[in-house]
């Protein structure tokens, strides 16, 4: 089976991750609370920002590509609308892989529950927006 990937949708979904993150972690939204809970100062944020953004761009591209791949397979199996299968696939992948793994790691690292909630909520929004973009482009 050939898996169809819409590469424009993948690029836009990856870019959306950067947009969602910049809004989510803006100080008036969750940024101030996140910095306090994560014990990250403004000076910490300024150091290595280019490296952090570069890593984020690469990882977002990987995430969007894998998500598009799994969405195509889900849609091939379930045969719902491509948009519906995109959003439900994004949700289930978030729940089973992202949220579950972050919660596990944060529990062992004794991170504050509010910090974990901020992180997993951000990841949910990120994956759903990626799924929305991929879903709106439809099957290639």
Q: What is the pLDDT along the chain (140 residues), one digit of tens a residue?
A: 789 999 999 999 999 999 999 999 999 999 999 999 999 999 998 898 999 999 999 999 999 999 999 999 999 999 999 999 999 999 999 999 999 999 999 999 999 999 999 999 999 999 999 999 999 999 98
CA distance between the termini of the chain: 14
In a domain, 117, yes or no: yes
Q: 16 lies in which domain range?
A: 7-137
Give DSSP secondary structure letters for 39-81: T--HHHHHTTHHHHHHHHHHHHHHHHHHHHHHHHHHHHHH-S-
Q: What is the pLDDT of residue 61?
A: 98
In a domain, 94, yes or no: yes
In a domain, 1, yes or no: no
Q: What is the pLDDT of residue 140?
A: 83
Task: Give rounded-to-5 percent helix, strand, coil for the chain.
Answer: 85, 0, 15
Assess contact for 138 and 81: CB atoms under 8 A.
Answer: no
In a domain, 2, yes or no: no
Decide: pTM greater than 0.85: yes
As for how many domains the chain has, the answer is: 1
């Amino acid at each position: 089976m050939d898996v169809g990937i819409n590469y424009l949708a993948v690029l836009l979904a990856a870019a959306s991750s950067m947009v969602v993150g910049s809004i989510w972690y803006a100080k008036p939204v969750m940024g101030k609370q996140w910095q306090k809970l994560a014990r990250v100062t403004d000076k910490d944020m300024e150091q290595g920002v280019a490296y952090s953004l570069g890593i984020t761009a690469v990882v977002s591209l990987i995430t969007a590509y894998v998500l598009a791949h799994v969405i195509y397979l889900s849609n091939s199996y379930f045969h719902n609308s491509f948009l519906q299968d995109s959003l439900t696939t994004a949700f289930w992948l978030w729940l089973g892989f992202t949220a579950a793994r972050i919660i596990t790691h944060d529990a062992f690292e004794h991170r504050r529950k509010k910090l974990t909630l901020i992180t997993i909520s951000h990841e949910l929004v990120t994956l759903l927006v990626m799924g929305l973009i991929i879903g709106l482009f439809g099957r290639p």
